[in-house]
Amino acid sequence: MPRFRLDIEYDGTPFVGWQRQENGPSVQGAIEAAITAFCGNSVSIRGAGRTDAGVHARGQVAHVDIDGDWPADTVRDAVNHHLRPAPIAILAATIVDADFDARFLAVKRHYLYRILDRRAPPALDRERTWWVPKRLSAAAMHRAAQALVGHHDFTTFRAAECQAKSPEKTLDTLTVRRRGEIVEIRASARSFLHNQVRSMAGSLKLVGEGRWDATDLEAALKARNRARCGPVAPASGLYLMAVEYQE
C-alpha cells in the first residue's frame, strides 16, 4: 500500500485543532474524510505537529497510506476537491518510502507568531494575528529572546497539561523582527512543549511594552515555575510554517 506525504496549509479558526476529537471538527478529521470520499478507504493520517484550536499552518506535514495505484497529483487534487469549503489545502502529495513518519522523523519545526501592534484593530487579519494596541519594541524583544536560545528546562513556558516526558528542550533560534505593523516572532527547534511558543510570545510582549526587560525574561526561565510566565498569547497569531526532514 503506497504511503503519501501531504504538505498542508490551513486556517485553524473553525477547528478544535489538528488532532481528531469528539468535541468538534478537526483538521485531521476533515482530511481523513476527504480521502475516504475519493478512494473509498477508511484511513488514518499522522501529522508532524498537533496544533491547538485556532492555530494555523502554512507547512504542516502528514503521511497516510492509501490503497490503490493513485498518481500523487491525483491524490492532491481529489482530496482538495472533497475538502471544499473547509479552509484546508493540500499543497503537495508525494509518494514516499513505507517507513517515512511525518512526526517521528522530523528534525526541525519552524513556527511564526504574528503581533499587530497598532491603535486600530484588524479588519482583514482578525483571527490571524494578536492585536496589541500599543507600539512594541521589536529590538528589545529580540535582544531578550536570546536568553531562551539553547538547551534549557522550559517549565515556565510549558502548559500544565503538557504530556512531554521532560520539560527540557533545545531551542535552535528565536528571532523578533518588525515588518511594517507586524512584529514577527520566529522559533525553530526539533520539537516544542505544549504552548511553548505562545508562552514565550506572551512573555516577549511584556518586554516589548517595557514592563519586563531581558533580565526579567531570563529570571522567568531560570525559575522553572509556570506562575512566572507572562500571559499566554492567543492561538490566532501562531503558524506552523515548515517541517524539516533529513534527506
Active-site positions? Answer: 52
CB 34 within 8 A of CB 90: no
Per-residue 3-state assignment (H helix, E strand, C coil) for 162-206: CCCCCCEEEEEEEEEEEECCEEEEEEEECCCCCCHHHHHHHHHHH
**Backbone phi, psi, residue 221, to 5°:** -60, -50
Which residues are within 8 A (CB) of 168 and not within 5 positions of it... i.e. 6 or more apart? 151, 152, 153, 154
Question: Cell numbers 519552524 label which residue?
Answer: 110
Residue 220: how many other CB atoms lie within 10 Å: 24
What are 64's three cell numbers?
Answer: 497516510
What are 245's three cell numbers?
Answer: 526532514
